[in-house]
Structure formats: structure tokens, C-alpha cells
Amino acid sequence: MVTKNPRVNVTFEEQTLGMLGSMAKADHKSVSGLVKELTLEALERREDYLLSGLAERRDKGTVHTVSHDDVWK
């Protein structure tokens, strides 16, 4: 069976699975839907963290700035 979205199998400890189950029930979601949502949030945070580090590295050093007025002359 070919699916539109590939699947990933993840194994959790009983305690973690219990917490996920409770959270999913409180949010009226499936456990898999909640895990997908949490994973996407974590990926976005990781991306933000990495891009923030890149921006900080680029900010350092000698940078020539130009005023707004000079740019639009």
C-alpha cells in the first residue's frame, strides 16, 4: 500500500506514552496527531535556534552600515 505521507515508527517508554495519551485526550486529538504536532514545533524551534546563531555570526565583525536616507537618494 502506497501512502501519500511516509510513516515513522517511534517507541516510547510507558511513562512518556501515558503523558502523551493524557495530553492527546485533553486536546481531543489522537496520540499520533499530537506527536506529529509536537515534532513540527520542535523542528521549527531548532530551525529558529540555528538561524539565530547564523545571524549572530554574521552580525559580528566590521559591518558597513548605510543610513536610510542615503539608500534612497
What does pTM read for this prediction?
A: 0.71
**pLDDT band at residue 2 using 50, 70 and 90 as cut-offs:** confident
- Span 2-14, average pLDDT: 90
- Span 52-59, average pLDDT: 86
Distance CA 46, CA 73 (A): 40
What per-residue confidence (pLDDT) applies to 16?
97
Q: What is the pLDDT of residues 9-50, one digit of tens each?
A: 999 999 999 999 999 999 999 999 999 999 999 999 999 999
Extents of the domains making up the chain? 29-58
Q: Give me the helices (H) in 1-73, please.
A: 14-26, 31-59, 68-71
